[in-house]
Structure 1
Amino acid sequence: MKSDNLHIIDPVETSLARDYILKWGVKNQRSFNWRLSNSSYEIFISEFLLHRTRAGQVSEIYDFFIQRYPNFESIAETTKSNLREDLKTIGLNWRIDALYDCALRISRDYRGILPLDKTTLLSLPGVGEYIASAVVCFCIGSIEPVLDTNIVRFIGRFYGLKITDSSRRNKRFKEFILQFLKTKNPRQLIYYIIDFAFAVCTPSKPKCTSCPIKTVCNFGSGGGIRK
């Protein structure tokens, strides 16, 4: 990928990189129980808990939480103080309170069934663009602009986009991730990208010299990138 092609989506190079990530992920993906679930409730809970929290921390309490609170009604029937106690190891009380308020509303207004249209999801307490996009993508398989810190770093470096604190809300980043996710199983590809960014395309000292997609990556080929 040449520097004079910055910010242009090359379908061939995108396809090559996508195919590699799919192959890489089969052998190198991390294992988390929430990734195996097709339950909209469990998917929602995992994405809510993962917000601003490392996957390793969430994995320590995820199974316990799902067993203790198997549905939205069980959360709504407890108290915020109990919920805070059960989730104290991952902190962020504002998020815990928002989860409780979500459960109350879903139990009351939707009979305990998570609505899967993005507009309604975004109206729920504590649900932003990332959680709403991830839930819709993971539950019904639609291609959505799922952009967390790891995905932003990968997409920004690969396509030569300037990465800033607002990149997750940037129109260009959304356009590029939508193109990259054009596959039969976007959920799986998203997990693979996250794991690839965690293991290879790291925030500091990325392993570019051993990365097979470096020749089609702006960052890896030295074609122009700004962190």
Structure 2
Amino acid sequence: MPKRAKIACFDLCCGAGALSEGFRQGGATVLGGIDTDAQALATAKTHCPTGTWERTSIEEFAESLKTLNGHPIRAANTLLAGLPCQGFSRAGRRDPADARNFLYKHLLRIVKELSPDHVVFENVTGMATVRTRHMLDSLISGLRRAKYDVASRVLDAYDFGAPQHRKRLFLVAVRKGRASGVFEALRPSNDKLTVRDAFRGLPGTQERKSISHVFMKHGSRVRAKLRRIKPGGPISYRRLVWESPADTLISGHRALPVHPRHPRAISVREAARLQGFDDLFLFEGYISSQIDQVANAVPPPLARALCSALRRAGEHEKRIHGRVFRKLLPEATPGLRKRLTAAFRRSFTRRYPWRNTRNPYRILVTELLLQRTNADLAKTVWRDVIELCPSSRKAASVDLRSLGALTRRIGIRSRCQTIKELGTVIQKRHRGNVPQAFDDLLRLPGVGLYIASAVRAICFMEQDFPVDTNAFRFVSRYFGLTLKRTKAEGRQLREFLSRLVPKSGVREYVYGFLDFAAQVCRPVKPNCSECPLRGSCTSPPARRA
């Protein structure tokens, strides 16, 4: 078992320290942070008294960093940055000229000075819209010029255990390895919490001042107005719904959502629970400041999941950096990517009905049918199997005798039980949705490295490459390598070949390779004269049989 990757983080524009609190829960060491809000800093310091928390702007901090030789930030291998988002937020004015929109330039100065192993940047999804996309692109370009691999993803806190739909843009930069590997390692929570779950144990009519469960003092006219508000509604004064997760909490005004039952805005503690804070996390300052601190926070469950993914990705990098990967890595050039893309996207003649679907569940069933089975043979029963098990819900309750009668025709009756178990697990653990994360796919019945990568590439358009005997054969011939075809080598090949997958047209690229391997780079008597890569292949034709 590899040693767990260690993370020591420093939080820039930390607010109340929610992002670093989630990282602390994920096993990281929190060294401190900076912010201009004194009351928010007091909250952060209360919950991490060993850290160094300074009231300063990111501009001033970047300017003085060269003189801060013994500063704790120099011991950090991970920088967290939740820069102010008011200029991008849909709840604000979205002013492209807002000075806060350009704070990323100071972040880049700090990154270039310190060269941390990881940078985790968080902001509202509005930063990726057309009007401000150039700012995000400038940040990504700056990180890449500083020799970082960069990936971004919109994540919803609800998927990671918070009782609130809160979508945020996350950008991860890593100095060594693949940034997309961090998002691959994310493990969504099986717990889908509601407002009722969040408020359980909190009295609706009695205050508990010790944990900031204090009610707003509304006048009679406001209370009458609140009574008339129906569940849902606009951003301001929307009423929560007991059996649903909350909508995104908004800062910048004092109007927290209305309690599902009572004619009042929710308390700070109720808002904190919707963000995923436990009751031991107390907020300092005036009530108005506490409201903003909560509403501006990154939900700790989401931050914790991201920290854990960062650690798992680091462990994965250590595992795959074996002999084969180290030898192949210098070959992962834009030129090779261009040659392979052109070769694999040629028009081949194989046509199969499953190539017309992107349904993740149906592709999973397809790959189970294709295991150690000729594709043309699997084609004869595919439509009947999919008609009998069109969804995971139907598969979970399928009659095994009926399914066995179909699969017996091609000698794969033993896979009936796996198909049924697959449907059951997807229904129970994932609420009927096939997971996108690589590790989650691997935990499904019958799913190994190849099937997990195939589903990610074909259905979710992730830059992933399914490695089987075809991939081993191609790499061995093209690069002139002697491979043992072990599981460890398979992981290394996946890591290498995934770096060559284009960002668009992933599905066509993977299917194109399978046709290329079947019709050109064949196991026996390869058709070298028709190979579009014959000019760069290192193995002479005589050795390719």
Whether these two folds match at TM > 0.5 is yes
| Cα 1:183–1:82 shift into 2, 3 Å | same
Q: Which has the higher strand share?
A: 2
Which letter maps to 1:218?
A: T
Task: Indicate the residue corresponding to 1:164 in structure 2.
Answer: 484
1:15 and 2:337 are equivalent in the alignment:
yes
Task: Indicate the residue corresponding to 2:394 in structure 1.
Answer: 74
Is the CA contact (8 Å cut-off) linking 2:389 and 2:398 kept in structure 1?
no
Task: Indicate the residue corresponding to 1:47 in structure 2.
Answer: 367
Q: CA deviation at 1:76?
A: 1.6
Greater shift in the superposed pair: 207-216 or 7-16: 7-16
Task: Indicate the residue corresponding to 1:61 in structure 2.
Answer: 381
Classify the secondary structure of the residue corresponding to 1:87. Answer: helix
Q: 1: CA distance between counterparts of 2:462 and 2:328?
A: 27
Task: Indicate the residue corresponding to 1:87 in structure 2.
Answer: 407
Q: CA deviation at 1:19?
A: 3.7
Task: Indicate the residue corresponding to 2:512 in structure 1.
Answer: 192
| Cα 1:15–1:63 shift into 2, 3 Å | same
Q: Which has the higher contact order (CA 8 A, sep 6+)?
A: 1
1:141 and 2:465 are equivalent in the alignment:
no
Which letter maps to 1:14?
A: L
Which letter maps to 1:20?
A: A
Greater shift in the superposed pair: 53-62 or 209-218: 209-218
| Cα 1:92–1:165 shift into 2, 3 Å | farther
Identity of aligned residues (%): 28
Which letter maps to 2:508?
A: Q
Match of 1:132 among 440, 452, 455: 452
Q: CA deviation at 1:220?
A: 4.3
| Cα 1:175–1:198 shift into 2, 3 Å | same
Q: 2: CA distance between counterparts of 1:104 and 1:171?
A: 28
Greater shift in the superposed pair: 202-211 or 56-65: 202-211
Which letter maps to 1:44?
A: L
Classify the secondary structure of the residue corresponding to 2:336. Answer: helix
Match of 2:353 among 25, 33, 37: 33
| Cα 1:79–1:169 shift into 2, 3 Å | farther
Q: 2: CA distance between counterparts of 1:55 and 1:7?
A: 32
Q: 2: CA distance between counterparts of 1:41 and 1:189?
A: 21
Q: CA RMSD in A?
A: 2.6
Q: 2: CA distance between counterparts of 1:168 and 1:36?
A: 33
Q: 1: CA distance between counterparts of 2:435 and 2:337?
A: 33
Greater shift in the superposed pair: 187-196 or 67-76: 67-76
| Cα 1:171–1:45 shift into 2, 3 Å | closer
**Of the two, which has the highest radius of gyration?**
2
Gaps of 5+ in 2: 1-326
Classify the secondary structure of the residue corresponding to 2:408. Answer: coil
Task: Indicate the residue corresponding to 2:528 in structure 1.
Answer: 208
**Equivalent residues, number:** 219
Is the CA contact (8 Å cut-off) linking 1:152 and 1:167 kept in structure 2?
no
Q: Which has the higher helix share?
A: 1
Q: 1: CA distance between counterparts of 2:488 and 2:366?
A: 20
Task: Give the TM-score normalised by the residue count of structure 1.
Answer: 0.84
Q: CA deviation at 1:61?
A: 0.9
Q: 1: CA distance between counterparts of 2:447 and 2:453?
A: 10
Is the CA contact (8 Å cut-off) linking 2:378 and 2:410 kept in structure 1?
yes
Q: CA deviation at 1:46?
A: 1.2
Q: 2: CA distance between counterparts of 1:110 and 1:23?
A: 34
Q: CA deviation at 1:200?
A: 0.9
Cα offsets for 1:71-119 (capped at 9, x unmatched): 1121221233332222112334443222211112222333322222222
Which letter maps to 1:201?
A: C
Task: Give the TM-score normalised by the residue count of structure 2.
Answer: 0.37
Which letter maps to 2:506?
A: P
